[in-house]
Structures are given as C-alpha cells and as structure tokens.
Structure 1
Amino acid sequence: MSDEPLRIVHCFRSPVGGIFRHVRDLAEAQTSAGHLVGIVCDSSTGGVHEDRLFEAIAPFLALGVTRTPMQRHIGFGDLAAARRTLGILHRMKADVLHGHGAKGGVYARLFGTSMRLGGRRVARLYSPHGGSLHYDPRTMTGRMFFALERMMERFGDGVLFVSDHERRTFINKIGEPRGRTTLVYNGLRDEEFVPVEAMQDAADFLYIGMMRDLKGPDLFIDALADTSRTTRLPVSAAMVGAGDDLPRYREQVRLLGLSDHVRFFDPMPARDAFRLARHVVVPSRAEAMPYIVLEALAATKPMIASMVGGIPEIFDEWRHGLVRPTVEQIAQKMREALDDPIQFAGLMPPAESLRARFSAGVMATAIERTYREALRRHS
C-alpha cells in the first residue's frame, strides 16, 4: 500500500504568488514520483503569465487543471462556488485533498469530510501559507477568521507549516493545534542554484511581487526616494508585478519625482527579473516562507529583506541583509549596498548552505510521508 501511486488534488484560490509556486513545484515532484495529480483553483485571478505557467504544467497532470470562480472574501457567492468545487473534487476521486491558503484549506477539509462520509478513504491536509494568520486578533475580522480556523481543525487530518514562525503564529493567534502538524520548508530545484548575473544596464534595486501594501511596494518606493535624496545619486529601480493597487504605486513614483528612474514591468519568471537589477529588496510587512527570498539568494543576488515571518529562518546566521519593514531601515541598507556592493554581497547566506536546507526533493518526500500517515490512520 505504501508504494501505490496516490491520487492527489491541490485546492487553492488565487493562482499567483508563492502559493502557486509551491503547488506547481509540489505537483511536478509528485508527478515525477508516479502519483496522479490535479489542481483546482480560481478562474478569475491571474493573467497571461499565470496562463503560461498552467499551459506548461497541465500536460503532466493526470487529473488535470480545473479552474472555477472562487471569491476572495466570505459571501453568498461561496455557496455556488462550493457546490461547483465539490462536484469537481468528487469526479477527481482523490486519495488526498491538500488545501493551500484559507479558502483552499476550508474546501479541502469540508469536501474531504463529505467524500469520507460517502465512503471514500481520503486524507484532508491544510497548508496555511500565511493566509488568515495575517489578520490582527484584536479586530472583529481577525477573531472571526481565527474562530473559523479553530472550528475547521476537527475536519482535517493535519496542518503542514512552511516555517516555524508560521507554526508559532498559529499557536499565538488560534491556539495549540489539536491535530497533527508537520514543518516542511519550501524547496528549490537544482537548476535554481545557478547564479544569475545582472545585465549591463541593470537598475540598482529590484522589487518583484504582488502589488499590494502587505508586500511593501510603497515602502520600497519611499526608501528609494530617501536614498536618492541622502546620497544625491539617481538611484534606479525595476518593479515587477501586478495587482489592483499598481496604479497607486505608479502615482507614488510620479509624485516623488522618480519617474525617470523607476521602471514597471508585468509579471515574469523570477530569474528573468533578477537580470534587471543588482540587488533585490523584499520589503514585506508580513510573510510566511516566501519563495522569492529563496530564489534570489540561490541565484546569488544580494538582498535586503524584511525581518518578518519565516525570512529569518532562511537567512539563518547570515542576517546582515535583514531589516524591519520601515522606510528608514530599508533606505539605510540601500545606502550600504550602494557604498560597498562587494562587501554587502559577501554577507549573504552561501548557496551551499541554502541547498542543504531547502531542497524540492526533501520537501516533496516529507509531504508524501504526511499524506500516507494520514491515510494509514483512517484505513
């Protein structure tokens, strides 16, 4: 039984950012291991870049890619979305339902329970990836989501955390997990440890990610303005990403007089974006275990990153590039990087250390072990 291929379905809402990257890597590794894998996610988010990623992976997924409308916030539309998704998952006849993010976690656990009541042996796993854990427990919204998270525990077979920080946040905001938990770091493929050199006319700094305040593009822009003002140099930047708030960030750049020195780009593969600048900045206000930090360091890009979420776990003892997500601290590190780029680069975590701790193969093996343990408990 332990060697039999599994029918694995990954369920999540938005096919953008770190969750999508995590699911793609995991699905690829699980397919290579002989499992039958499928994806169910939202059809109303994502763009041309994400469509290309789906086109690349879909032919290898035996259970296919099914996209159906899923709204971000809780509302009446969830009833219709839930009914559609339940039908899709029943047709896929999964052995494992793995939900990613808050909405995917609810769907995987509730619908997995429904399938189990119908006689199907199915494991119900949940990976928060930050998700509802970003909410403030002092707010009504936060209390509502944390109460929902606590209630949903009874419908799941385990929670997989991508960082120890995420696990501790769960305990602090929701309580000690009542079920089984597993810590599995995100992992990179071997080819991602090949260095990426900046192009000859590269910008000084790169922001790459979703265009929303949680990820800190506004802090990045203000820090650029501060650095330009204090150094009296034309500090340049590339900003790669999309989102509803993008027009606001373009206007922020204009109002600060940075239009001649900041270029905006549509979403693109991270390693292509790394060529656009000499340093990478991740100014997030909150994170779980962001792939972009792993990718940039593996590509030997000097980095400035917020000291939030699981990011310090990635840097380990090499913490010179870490800052609090404030304009003042980001700008100070920008000045350090510009003053002595060789010394700054030498203070980054070595690629060999990263490879030993963050491997896609190790990640997939640990997650499969969790799946099989859950199935054995309910055999």
Structure 2
Amino acid sequence: MSANGFSSPVHKPETLRIVHILRAPMGGVLRHVRDLALAHAKLGHEVGIICDTSGPAGYNEALLEQLEPHLSLGITRTAMSRSVGPSDITSTIKIRNLIKSLRPDVVHGHGAKGGVYARICGSLISTDHGRPARLYSPHGGSLHFDPASKNGKIYFIIEKSLERLTDCLCFVADFEANAYRSKVGTPKCPSRVIYNGLAEDEFEPITLADDAADFLFIGEMRMLKGPDLMLRALSRLKAEGAQNISAVMVGEGPDREEIHTLIKERELQTNVTLRPPMSARTAFSLAKTVVMPSRAEAMPYIILEALAAQRPLIATNVGGIPEIFGKAKDVLIEPDVDSLTARMRFASQNPDDFMARMPDHTDLKREFSIDTMSNWVLEAYYKAKSRRK
C-alpha cells in the first residue's frame, strides 16, 4: 500500500471526536465510512455521521440502523441535493450548525458533495480545540467527469479552490490520486493513498446455493456500472445457443427502469432475475461467476469482496481495479460487449481454468485489511490535527 510519507501507522492515546459527512448513504462509500467508524469507535474514539435524508430503502438503511448504536455522536440526517443548486446554501447552514453542535476534532468528507460540506462547514466553526481538521476522500465522485466537459470544468475549478480548506486528501487508490493530479492539478495540501480493506471473516469462501445462476451482477443500477453490457452479452450468448443461460441482478439505482426495458427488448425475461439490495456475501451465493463490467471506478469494494470470498470474477480494466488484481491484472477486460461476451463464454465453459487466473488469496488478504486501512486513516487524522494546531 502507498503510504506517501508515513513511516508506520501509530496508535495515539488522545481520543478524537470524528464526524464523517457523505451525501447518499449507499454502496462503497457507505461501506467505507461504516468500516472506519466502527474501527475507530472500537479504539475509543467518538464518531458520528451526517448524511442525506433520502437513503435507498432496504439493505443500506438496515446497515445504518445496525451502525448507529456503536456511534457515540450518532447518525444525523439532513437534506443534501445531488446536483449543485440554490438548496446548497440552506444545506450548508444546517450542516455547519450540526457540525458545530458535535464539536469534532476531525471532519472527514466523502464523495464530491460530502467533501464540499466537510471543508466549507468545517472552516466556518471553531471548537474548544480550535478549528477541526478537514479531510476529503473523493471516492471517484467528480473525478469521473471529462475535464473538457462543462460539468467537468466547473467541478474541477471547485475542487482546486477547496484545497486551501483541506488539511489532507485521502485517496483510495493510486488511480484516483493520479486522476486528481491530471484533472485538478498537483495537490497543494498533503495527500495520502490508503486502500480500502476487509474484515477477517470476509476472506472465508462462500457456499453456492443449489439453484445458483450462471452469472451475478451486484451494485448500483446505473449505466456507469455496466449492467447493460452484461445484458447485451447474455443476449449474444443466448443467440449462440445457450438458451438456458441465467443471471441474477442485485441492486437499485437511477437506471433500473432502463434495465427493465433492455431485459424485455432482448427477450431475457426468463433468463434474468432482478433482486433488491442485499449483503454482498448473500448475493455471491446466488451465482457461479460474478460480473462487474464497470465503465469507471475508483477502488470498488464489491471487487474486493468477491475475490476475498473466493468467487470467480469478470471485471474491467478501469480505475483502481488493476491495483486490486496485481499480478493477475491480465485477466481484466475492456468495458465493451465483445470483450465481455468472450470472457463470460470462457468462464462458463472453463470454470476451473478461469478460477485459477484470479489473484492470490494470501496476497489479497495481506494488502486489503480493515485494520491496515483504519490505522493509516487514523494516522492521517492525527497529522492533520497537529497541523491545525
């Protein structure tokens, strides 16, 4: 893991009051925040979360309910719009007051909106210990935009202007750090790359259900994640003669209706089963091979979770995914229908050979652990707080 100047993770005796801010409590960002919050709470730190009121129903909300009893500063919900608009002024005032009431030593923003609120609102308050340390983790977010696009230009100007309010940038992958340097510029504030991590029990193998399907897609139902690519590949394989090919798609998202339409257009109603959000390990038992055909990513948890659970995985060569696969990155494909169809065909016809091409399980376990991640982030908090003093 790239520590960018850290000598080693160090546990400090000083108790911190830590507040995480994220807009949508869902997916990998929620998973990341949950793991950090629980790990630091177990070490005796006081932790809280501020997030949007409109979290997706089902698994994500259940996750928050399970998490809240462990957080001494609680979970506070307040409206945060996805796009930039006049409502941001009202939200900024509310979030500033919420942060002030929690008296944090550290404010950590996640995702583009969470990063804006954490740094601006964190700069507008002062606690008993002075102004809180302000950290930001993009998690992809605005970095997915094309720098030549109108939105990209706006967001990258905002990102650059907020650096002076940032005590540390925490990237989850070298790819993300490089994307920031390329699109925003070399950071003038301190920055670190700290990989996501998994718990010990997540490295245990999964037992398949007796009626397991051939393929599984799990994640947010949006075209960026490539669910349409999997459906088109399934359609081709079916046309080749695999009439009984089957798949399960788990998740919710803004493009779910388009996915429904595509299933009907491709006449895949008897081949594809749609399921609501559920835990990754539960979903992994539903199919023989996991398919994650993302068009863009940062450091996706679902990739780590599938490999840790020792599931064969078809994934794309985007974002920080090659960093997870390491020496096995040659097995990755481009996010297009031709490549995906060929790899799904190979995986179904040669399951043992395909599984043998997955990353080494021991290396994966050593590189991507929650303890390693939480220790490095905690060290970043102490260093940022020290600089604030």
The interval holding the TM-score normalised by the smaller chain is: over 0.9
* d(CA) in 1 for partners of 2:206, 2:257: 30
**Residue in structure 1 matching 2:256, options 239, 243, 246:** 246
Question: How far has the Cα of 1:339 moved from its partner?
Answer: 1.1
Q: Note the 1:308-323 alignment, pairs <5 A.
A: 308-323=318-333
Q: Secondary structure at the match of 1:317?
A: helix
Q: How far 1:336 sits from its partner (Å)?
A: 0.5
Match of residue 68 from structure 1: 78
> Offset at 1:320?
4.4
Asked if the contact 1:40/1:68 (under 8 Å) is kept, the reply is yes
Cα-Cα RMSD: 1.3
Partner of 2:205: 195
Residues 244-323 of structure 1 mapped to structure 2, 5 A cutoff = 244-323=254-333
Aligned equivalent of 1:49? 59
Q: List per-residue Cα deviations over 1:258-293 (Å, max 9, x = no partner).
A: 100100000000000001100001111100000000
1:31-69 Cα distance to aligned partner (Å, 9 max, x none): 111100000000113212222111111000000000111
Distance 2:365 2:255 in 1: 35
Structure 2 unmatched ranges of 5 or more: 1-10
Kindly indicate whether the alpha-carbon contact (under 8 Å) linking 1:161 and 1:181 is maintained by their aligned counterparts in 2: yes
Q: 2:349 corresponds to which residue? A: 339
Distance 2:26 2:100 in 1: 25
Name the residue aligned to 1:325.
335
Q: Which residue of 2 aligns with 1:149?
A: 159
- Supply the distance in 2 between the matched residues of 1:76 and 1:317 (Cα, whole angstroms): 48
Other-structure match for 2:40: 30
Amino acid in the other structure paired with 1:351: H
Q: Write the deviation string for residues 94-147 of structure 1: whole angstroms up to 9, x where unpaired.
A: 000000000010111111111149972311000000000000111111000000
- Structure-2 separation of matches of 1:38 and 1:238: 35
- The answer (yes or no) to whether the contact 2:250–2:278 under 8 Å persists in 1 is yes
2:184 equivalent to 1:174? yes
Aligned match of 1:361 in 371, 376, 387? 371
Deviations 1:308-333 (A, max 9, x none): 00000000011243111001101110
Counterpart of 1:89?
99
Query: How big is the shift at 1:3?
Result: 1.1
CA distance in 1, matches of 2:111, 2:359: 29
Pairing 1:19–2:29 present: yes
2: CA distance, partners of 1:82 / 1:227: 50
Deviates more, 1:241-250 or 1:361-370: 241-250
Aligned length: 379
Query: 2:146 aligns to what?
Result: 136
How far apart are 1:231 and its partner, in Å? 4.5
Aligned equivalents of 1:245, 1:299: Cα separation in 2: 28
Q: Does residue 208 of structure 1 match 2:218?
A: yes
Higher mean C-alpha deviation, range 327-336 or range 221-230: 221-230
Secondary structure of the residue aligned to 1:5 is coil
**Distance in 2 (alpha carbons) for counterparts of 1:232 and 1:192:** 33
Distance in 2 between the 1:377 and 1:80 partners?
A: 30
Amino acid at match of 1:85: I
Gaps of 5+ in 1: none
- Deviation, 1:241, is 0.3
CA distance in 2, matches of 1:117, 1:10: 16
Higher relative CO (CA 8 A, sep ≥ 6), structure 1 or 2?
A: 2
- Separation in 2, partners of 1:307, 1:113: 38
Structure 2 counterpart of 1:159, from 163, 169, 174: 169
- Separation in 1 of the partners of 2:279 and 2:173? 24
Partner AA of 1:3 in structure 2: P
User: So what's the TM-score if we normalise by structure 1?
Assistant: 0.98
SS in 2 for 1:319: helix
Note the C-alpha offset of 1:234: 2.0
1:150-194 per-position Cα deviation (integer Å, ceiling 9, x unaligned): 000000101000000001000111111111010100000000000
What is the identity, as a one-letter code, of the residue corresponding to 2:25?
P
Preserved CA contact (<8 Å) 1:96 1:122? yes
Task: Indicate if the aligned counterparts of 2:103 and 2:127 stay in contact, CA closer than 8 A.
Answer: no
Q: Distance in 2 between matches of 1:230 and 1:193?
A: 36
Structure 1: distance between partners of 2:185 and 2:233: 37
Distance 2:41 2:237 in 1: 47
Letter in 2 for 1:76: P
Residue type of the alignment partner of 1:339: Q
Identity of aligned residues (%): 45
Q: Would the aligned equivalents of 1:303 and 1:321 in 2 still touch at CA under 8 Å?
A: no
